[in-house]
Structure 1
Amino acid sequence: MTQGAIHALRAGHVFDGRQAAGPGMVLVEDGRIQDVDVTGAAPPEHAVVTDFGPDAWLLPGLIDAHVHLCWDATTDAVAHVSTGGTSALLDTARTAAATALRTGVTTVRDLGDRDYLTLALRDQVPPTERPEIVAAGPPITTRGGHCHFLGGEAEGTDALLAAVRERAERGCDVVKVMASGGNMTPGSNPLHQQYHPDDLRMIVDEAHRLGLTTAAHVHAAEAIGGVIDAGFDTIEHFTFLTPDGATLRHDLLDRVVEEGTFLSLTGGWVPGTPPPPPAMAARMDALIDVMTKVIASGARIVVGTDAGIEPGKPHHVFPYALAALAQVGMPALDVLRSATSEAAAALGLAGRKGVLRPGADADLLVLGSSPLADLSAVTDITAVYRAGHWLPGNPPH
């Protein structure tokens, strides 16, 4: 878009992050939304008008709340991220970011890089050529714990406080903590609780004092209570794994609903790619049951894909995550809210991302058909705008 000019984007339908209406018009100037109109008003006299037609939908750019840009989504993703050179990992991250942006994902929260390389990516690539990146740097983990190879090992009061402060000083936005073990790390057990609840509470308090949000990776059912007590802003995965599978504890679910804690549920698998690892596949039915009950509870849910960690989760996986939520009972309107305004609130970006309203960033997605009628419409992309700039590849009509 021309700097200083007012651009009027028109379509037959508008989803503003909360509700759908139409026909509508979004006015954009210098990377910001100036106005949103669904009354049928004429564009300003000197506006540059792009009319996408009566079937098109204008909506906020999508938000993936859990990605790993430095991970290359291969069967050797762990080896690549743990042993690859800085240049190779930056190339991976740059390609991943561009791929996500082309799918309409205009904001990502990276919850695990190596050597703070997503911060370097943010510095090196102009904002109009990548999604907004909410960065965690290396996740905080125990010695030899889950994803220890990313460089975030810390134990004990002094080391944990220093780890949080380092992330704030480097310019991270969020502190990610491995509260339990995980599946991707050899020798790690997702059923194992990695930190004492007092340590988790200390980390959260220090992060909040420094103005950072917090995210807790947790699979183990026995660790979820401590994560809730600590006051994390988002809980990642929330799978309630036990030695016998996955068993939901309704008392803990009731607490997150009551407290309004955001749950970043992990979903999305690209068809035709290798199946999930056997350990995860064996639990899949139980995990789907847990997710179905969590959605039915009315908890605040955002969409995270874990993009990059394995072949089924390449960096264009996001539409399949939306479909997964719909398949376990979430209405299409709620899915869109989870991927826009709710995700923005969870990431500390409320009012700036995930909405079409005056003053918000002009990150927009234009679809050729209705995502409310069929969520697969999120792949029917007509145009993507990042900070008011049209992304080449999906030219406006």
Structure 2
Amino acid sequence: MCAAGRRAVAGGVTTVRDLGDTGYLALGVRDAARADPSLPHVVAAGVPITTPGGHCHFLGEGVRGEAGLRRAVRERHERGADVVKVMASGGNLMPGSRIERPQYTREELCAVVDEAHRLGLPVAAHAHATAAILDAAAAGVDSLEHASFMTADDVDEIPAGLLEEIVARDIVLSPTLGLRAGPGTAMPPAMLTRLPKLVAAATRMAAAGARIVVGTDAGIAPIKPHDVLRDAPVHLQQLGFGPADALHAITARAAAAIGLGDRKGHLRPGYDADVLAVDGDPLTDPAALHRIRAVYVGGVLVGSSRSSEYR
């Protein structure tokens, strides 16, 4: 995890939100980063909350029922987690998980949100299935990860009124963008066939005025390296974002979405001096983000174009 964090920093990603580990290891990396500028600032969820045998159950014990879910939230709070991650639907990562099905009832998700907010923790909900997105939004989660509206083999239409509710509740939408193709890497066929409809749905979200950031799923596959975030602005522009707004989405808006808007995401007096210096103007040349000249974390130079990291 430390090696992955250092790769992220070397690629200009100075802050990460880790939404699922095993054994609460991300909290240890978070604490180590306070004394090591080669590591990114980490916002850590620890072990995600999921059902027995459910999506990513191998990361920790599954739980059902409102009382059990409230206990799970309290355990994460006691361990020092910064955010609660709940798997509201199945996913693509493992056999047996059904992406089109909710994993929890609306009442169970309400219990997670109520307990987390009582303890001062935000809730991020993994949600692909339309029913899970509807239930998580109604429960008042703080962010919806993926929000893809996937069925078993297609993509649903966004239900009428849902985007208006998401905007009214100020729920952050975190579509999974950013990928880096290369030798031996390719988008899974199941995602490739859905891509036009996924792009259309995300475009509707943006047009509705939803608060959109980028959840990269960095590290999940070779096509998603740990510094893949800088590949995302091009994809945001395909959704109708202007160049400046695309950069804003992965900096200031992202910082606010994870509770760090008062210290990160801007070049301002009093903010953390996390700086990515590139060769060129990314507003006119998105590829400039890949021509890294220097990275500073908290004002400390952790890499430059003279370093072998950037060759």
Gaps of 5+ in 2: none
Shift of 1:259: 2.4
Deviation at 1:113, TM superposition (A): 0.8
Corresponding position of 1:142: 51
Which one of 40, 61, 75 corresponds to residue 131 of structure 1? 40
Contact 1:127–1:387 under 8 Å retained in 2: no
The corresponding residue for 1:109 is 17
- Residue type matched to 1:193 in 2? P
Shift of 1:336: 1.0
| C-alpha separation in 2, matches of 1:98 and 1:189 | 34
Question: Secondary structure of the residue that 1:236 maps to in structure 2?
Answer: strand
| Residue 259 (structure 1) aligns with | 169
Matched position secondary structure for 1:312: coil
Alpha-carbon distance, 1:276 to partner:
2.2
Deviation at 1:123, TM superposition (A): 3.1
- What is the CA-CA distance between 1:367 and the residue it aligns to? 2.0
1:225-244 to 2 correspondences below 5 Å? 225-243=134-152
Structure 1 residue 147: deviation in Å? 0.2
How far apart are 1:237 and its partner, in Å? 0.6
> How much has 1:223 moved relative to structure 2?
1.5
Show the counterpart of 1:391: 302
Equivalent residues of 1:304, 1:321 under 8 A apart: no
Match of 2:108 among 183, 199, 204: 199
Amino acid paired to 1:257: V
Contact preservation (8 Å) 1:323, 1:376: no
What is the TM-score normalised by the length of structure 2? 0.93
Provide the residue aligned with 1:300 in structure 2: 211
Deviations 1:230-273 (A, max 9, x none): 11111101111124511232421121123221101111111124
- Shift in Å, 1:197: 0.7
Q: Which runs of 5+ in 1 are unaligned?
A: 1-92
Q: Which of 282, 285, 288 lines up with 1:374 in the alignment?
A: 285
Contact 2:296 2:303 in 1 (8 A): no
Q: SS state of the match for residue 366, structure 1?
A: strand
Matched to 1:105, the amino acid is V
Q: For residues 303 and 267 of structure 2, what CA distance do their matches in structure 1 show?
A: 22
Residues 303 and 322, structure 1, Cα contact 8 Å, conserved in 2: no
Name the aligned partner's letter for residue 220 of structure 2. Answer: I
**Aligned mates of 1:394, 1:105 — CA distance in 2:** 16
Residues of 2 paired with 1:312 and 1:364: CA distance?
Answer: 25
CA deviation after TM superposition for structure 1 residue 274, in Å: 2.2
Among candidates 154, 170, 178, match of residue 268 of structure 1: 178
In 1, are the aligned partners of 2:98 and 2:152 still within 8 Å (CA)? Answer: no
Distance (whole Å) between structure 1 residues aligned to residue 151 and residue 223 of structure 2 = 24
Task: Establish whether residue 290 from structure 1 lines up as the match of residue 198 from structure 2.
Answer: no
- Worse overlay, 188-197 or 322-331: 322-331
- Aligned with 1:289: secondary structure? helix
Give the structure with the higher percent helix: 2
Q: Does 1:100 align with 2:8?
A: yes
Q: Give the letter for the 1:362 counterpart.
A: A
How far does residue 148 in structure 1 lie from its aligned partner after superposition? 0.2
Paired residues of 1:139 and 1:152 also in contact (CA < 8 A): no
Distance across 2 between alignment mates of 1:258 and 1:121: 35
Provide the residue aligned with 2:269 in structure 1: 358
AA aligned opposite 1:110? D
Of all paired residues, the percent bearing the same amino acid is 50
Q: Which has the larger radius of gyration?
A: 1
Greater shift after overlay, 186-195 or 367-376?
367-376
Residue of structure 2 aligned with 1:178, choices 87, 91, 94: 87
Q: Partners of 1:210 and 1:147 in 2: how far apart?
A: 25
How far apart in 2 are the matches of 1:255 and 1:345?
Answer: 20
**Counterpart selection for 1:158 from 67, 90, 96:** 67
**Alignment RMSD:** 1.6
SS of match in other structure, 1:292: helix
The farther-off stretch of 272-281 and 228-237 is 272-281
State the structure with bigger RCO (CA 8 A, min sep 6), 1 or 2: 1
